[in-house]
Structure 1
């Protein structure tokens, strides 16, 4: 079922005038992935893998990890960029 908007008692000019402020606003900028740091579990959730697979990719150099104290962190943008398309 399609949605319909019915306007009664308003002219096209009045509608255009009412919509003018909305049309002059800049569109929302697309959400960019920031350099947000995520933990190992979050990285595994993004990649749909387990901790041992994440460790393997980190040791092989496919993923770059960062650390502070005893925590291992990943940049979310780098984790997402590490995924490459497979051509079939």
Structure 2
């Protein structure tokens, strides 16, 4: 963290320092969130099967075997996280 000396700093300079610091922090946070959330898209069963180039019965079998993780929201609906699917692909390739 940068140390700032406030003695001999005008109110305008202080406001600029704070504004620039906040802008920098917000930009870093934005970049971090974008990089983390880029692959956290929620996919339906059909979208997941299409992404993996498999049929729904194979997706069901992989889910039951724990190869991919599904999230249930209501009843029989299942959803998958893109990032976890991509991670599972890396594991399946090994």
Tell me if both proteins adopt one fold, taking TM over 0.5 as the criterion.
yes
Measure the CA separation in 2 of the matches of 1:73 and 1:67. Answer: 6
Q: TM-score, normalization: structure 2?
A: 0.54
2:54 aligns to what SS in structure 1? coil
- Name the structure 2 match of 1:59: 64
2:89 aligns to what SS in structure 1? coil
1:79 aligns to what SS in structure 2? helix
Q: CA RMSD in A?
A: 2.1
Q: Does 1:49 align with 2:58?
A: no
Structure 2, unaligned stretches of length 5 or more?
A: 1-30
User: Shift of residue 86 of structure 1?
Assistant: 4.5
Q: Which has the higher helix share?
A: 2
User: Shift of residue 81 of structure 1?
Assistant: 1.2
Q: How many residues align?
A: 58
